[in-house]
Structure 1
């Protein structure tokens, strides 16, 4: 464990430059005292590591010092090749770059780790898009990616769902996301907004450089966006009772309570009365809607109308010998 941490200290200083003991401790999730001991161990091993005193001080490596030590394990080598998404890289125009990078990494791996990388490539393939969905046409994806990378504003003609559908926008692209095979760009100016890249009808690149918000966290923004999306998707609530073994028909909003008869009472989020009506009917007699009254009444009507219809049209059928005797008389 200590040897792995020493390698991490060395690589952090090599890639990031000067770092304080507190910064190293936070990165490695250890105490500052442990960092002091690790630095002493590296110095004793001959690593040219120096400490600068003062407010802006910290530890640093001698200028020009590079280590060829990576400390890569078999699991890390496998994860590296599994993380490569050739489809997404190809859409971004980086397919050949990814292939070249993987080839170089494989060549740099110790001989005992190369079979692990080959095994991952041969046994796992990541295909993000879902079934029954055509791939989105994203002709402007490389241009958007270039704008994200170089922090250049773009002018786009964008198609949205509400009127007016086609609008012109000046975007400052902060980051790109791939979700279920669909590309999204998060862009300003101002409060970040999410745009589907396949809905960009026209794009004009500019040389106008924008200032990227220093506190913008793409992963954090997307997590919050998805939570808000699910909240907006299911803004209403329904109180239902479920028979034992019947799954929840939507996200639970309160703790489920098992009643004396074994049925579970719970409040679930629903998109609308119309959608919940269709979803709940699939559960048949395994669900009872208590609230809202409108939904309860609709399901009750849907359940009774077929019975009434068939009840009026059904004719009594005589079974057994009497049916056969009646058939015999009709033939005579």
Structure 2
């Protein structure tokens, strides 16, 4: 597993000093590209590894660096794999494990390096909660117990039973074969198959989960990046998808974006509202998403969506404009 490889990489640098990427790749039996990704992960986790340029260059640890990585538990080791993005750890339910792992790494630093690391950390801010337009970025929230069961099934290769609430449908139970987990812009997804067909489930819509004893039907090796790319291409190319231009109040932007398939363009209006061009799965999905936002959003195009929302609003207004005789007060 990659966690073991990260430990081996640190131990190689501690015991043998400066090593080239090619040497590390040969020792660890991986590609040089994998070594570079591992070095980046270690740096993000606070391990003082640095690169020396030149013909005889390579990677090395700061002189005097000592650490004991044997104290890492399973979840802490997993957290190091996503240490480059604390939000990624939060999405997968590893936030507390990441914090614990980082404390162990910092505690293992020599005192002089520890003080320097603390000073450097104060100069870096990664993934703030708001952007320059003061729009709050909200990560998916999934109960720890639920995401822990999902992780257990994924890592152990077991079938997974989930209580899933698809958009516009009542929640229901289904049994899937989990393949892997993906996080994209603070949103977590479970890649799986169901009765042999590809399925992608958003973690925040999994209301409950249970890892089963039965082995999952899936290949031994997986290329999640390729699978995600292929599924994204198919999803975005769906025949029923519709593109909508909409104005939305900044406070409800995340509600709109959270239900859309994709955001194509975004700009600010002079009154502070936002103009977005977004894609929905189909007409029903678009109408449902805009209706949920009430007066905090306005569909600008296409015309059929404006007409549909107008008809629905008119019918609702008519319902409350007068009272039938059998509803009238005596």
**TM-score (normalizing by structure 1):** 0.45
Tell which structure's C-alpha radius of gyration is larger.
Answer: 1
**Greater relative CO (CA pairs within 8 A, separation 6+):** 2
**TM-score (normalizing by structure 2):** 0.45
